[in-house]
Amino acid sequence: MAKPDIQQVKQRFGIIGNSPDLNRAIDIALQVAPTDMSVLVTGESGVGKENFPQIIHQFSHRKHGTYIAVNCGSIPEGTIDSELFGHEKGSFTGATGERKGYFEVANGGTLFLDEVGELPLSTQARLLRVLETGEFIKVGSSKVEKTDVRVVAATNLDMITATRNGRFREDLYYRLNTVPIRIPALRERKDDIPLLFRKFASDCAEKYSMPPITLTDAARQMLKDYYWPGNIRQLKNITEQISIIEQAREITHDILKLYLPANEVGLVPVGTINANDQKSFSNEREILYQVLFDMKKDMNELKKIVHDIVAGNLKAADITTPVVDSKERVLTPMVVSSGEKVTPIPVREDIHAVMPKTDIADADIIEAPDYEEETLSLQDVEKDMIIKALERHNGKRKNAAQDLKISERTLYRKIKEYNLEDL
C-alpha cells in the first residue's frame, strides 16, 4: 500500500500547520502504522496528541477493528485494573456480574492509553505482561486469557524523570517507547499560530453567524511571541473569547493584550524569557517548596534565640549590634554568641532592621516552654495543600483535583496515603 500524502492526512484529521517538526511527527506515525509496534506519543498538554493514535489506527491493518481511547488519569486507582482487564462476578464489592475489560473488547484493534504516566505501579506490572506476552488475567480470576491489541500511549510527563523517581517502571517505559513520537509545543511552531487563529476565528464566526475577526500586523506578531503554556487548546479558547466579546472585527495589539494573561504564574510571553529561564517553569513547585523551607529554617533559628534570651541563657552583651546604613538596611548580619558557639542569623539587605529600645538585662524574665524545632517536609506541604483544597471545595474531590492541577486518581491516592478519607 502506497504511503499517503502528509497534506491529505492533515485535511482528513483536521491538523493545521506546516512546521517541520509537526510534519516529521505525522511522517513517523504513517511509517509505523502498518506495523504492530507500540508507540509512545509525548508532548505538552493541549498540543493535539489525541490525533496521532487515530492516524496510526486508520492507516494500519487494524482499521476495521475496534479503537478505544482510555484516559488513565480519570479512572480511580481502585477500578483501573477492572476497566483495563475486566473482572469476574463477586471479585469485589459491587461486582454483580462479569465484565469485559478494554483489552478484551479491543481484541484485533487499537487501544489508546492517554495519560499513561498516571497508572499505578501495580497496573503498570499488568500492562507490561500483556504487552510482552499478550496475556492477562481478569480481576478475581485465575484463568489466563489472550488478546491481540495494538497499544498506543500518550503522556505529557517527563518519563525519564518519572522512571528515576520510581513513579513509572523503567522496563514498561522502554516497552511502550518502541517508537517515540514527539509533538512540538505551539511556541515551537510560530508560523502556524496565525493559521490556527484564522481557522478558529472562521469556525466561531460560522457557528454564531457573525463576521470573522482579523488581526493587525502588530497583533499578529504579539500572538506569535506569546509563550502559550496551554498550546492549541489555549489559543482556541482565547480566539473564541475575542470573537464573542469584542465588537470590533479587526483586533489590534491593545485589544489582544487584554486576553493574554501575562501576569499569571507560568503564563509569561515568550519574548520576556530566555532558554535558561524556560527550564525554571517546570520546577516551579520545587522552587516554592525551597523558599518555604528557607523561611521556616530562619524562623526556627530566630525562635530558638528568642527562647534563650527569655530563659536567661543569653545576655545583652552576647548580641552584637548590626551595622545599618542611613536607610536602616542591614549591611552585616546580627550574631548571637553562646559560649564558644556563634550562631549567625541570616538577614536580607532589603529588610529594615528594627532595633529594640529595651535593655534586655533589665527586662522581666518569664518561664518559657522548652523550645522544640519545627520541621517542614514536602509531605507536610503537600498534605496541607490537599486539605485546604478539599476545604475550599467542601470535600468535592473532582473540584479539588482541578484546583491542585492533578488528576482525580492521583488525588485519591494522596488522600489514602495521608489518611484524609474523612475530609
Q: How confident is the model at residue 296 (pLDDT cuts 50, 70, 90)?
A: low
pLDDT averaged over every residue in the chain: 81
Question: Cα separation of 82 and 371, whole Å?
Answer: 52
Amino acid, res. 330: V
Structure-block grid coordinates of residue 211: 463576521
Assess whether pLDDT exceeds 50 at residue 132. yes
Which comes out higher in pLDDT, residue 301 or 278?
A: 301
Alpha helices in 79-120 (DSSP H): 80-85, 102-105
Can you say how many angstroms the Cα of residue 212 is from the centroid of all Cα atoms in its chain? 34
Question: Cα separation of 28 and 102, whole Å?
Answer: 26
What is the model's pLDDT at position 94? 79
What is the model's pLDDT at position 311? 66
What is the model's pLDDT at position 367? 43
What is the model's pLDDT at position 410? 84
Topology (CATH) of 188-281 = Helicase, Ruva Protein; domain 3 (1.10.8)
The contacts of residue 8 (CB under 8 Å, 6+ apart) are none
Question: Cα separation of 243 and 236, whole Å?
Answer: 11
Q: How confident is the model at residue 96 (pLDDT cuts 50, 70, 90)?
A: confident
Going from N- to C-terminal start, the domains of the chain cover: 6-184, 188-281, 286-362, 378-417
Which comes out higher in pLDDT, residue 96 or 149?
A: 149
Which comes out higher in pLDDT, residue 309 or 270?
A: 309
Which whole-number Å values give the CA distances from 342 to 268, 307, 321, 354, 356, in the listed order? 44, 16, 14, 21, 21
Which comes out higher in pLDDT, residue 205 or 333?
A: 205
Lowest mean pLDDT among 71-85, 105-119, 155-169, 301-315: 301-315
Question: Cα separation of 293 and 116, whole Å?
Answer: 32
Amino acid, res. 71: N
The contacts of residue 31 (CB under 8 Å, 6+ apart) are 3
Select from 3.40.50.720, 3.40.50.970, 3.20.20.80, 3.40.50.300 the CATH code of 6-184: 3.40.50.300
Question: Cα separation of 116 and 161, whole Å?
Answer: 14
Q: How confident is the model at residue 52 (pLDDT cuts 50, 70, 90)?
A: very high
The H or E element containing residue 40 is strand 39-42
Question: Cα separation of 278 and 269, whole Å?
Answer: 11
Lowest mean pLDDT among 81-85, 204-208, 232-236, 286-290: 286-290
Amino acid, res. 350: D
Q: How confident is the model at residue 170 (pLDDT cuts 50, 70, 90)?
A: very high
Question: Cα separation of 422 and 361, whole Å?
Answer: 51
Instruction: For 378-417, give the CATH class.
Output: mainly alpha
Place of cell 479491543: 106
SS (H, E, C) 141-193: CCCEEECCCEEEEEECCCHHHHHHCCCCCHHHHHHHCCEEEECCCHHHCHHHH
Question: Cα separation of 201 and 86, whole Å?
Answer: 44
Most distant pair of Cα atoms in the chain: their distance:
96
What is the model's pLDDT at position 270? 43
- Return the percentage of the chain with pLDDT > 70, whole number: 74
Given a contact cutoff of 8 angstroms between Cβ atoms, the answer to whether 304 and 338 are in contact is no
What is the model's pLDDT at position 105? 96
Radius of gyration of the chain (CA): 29
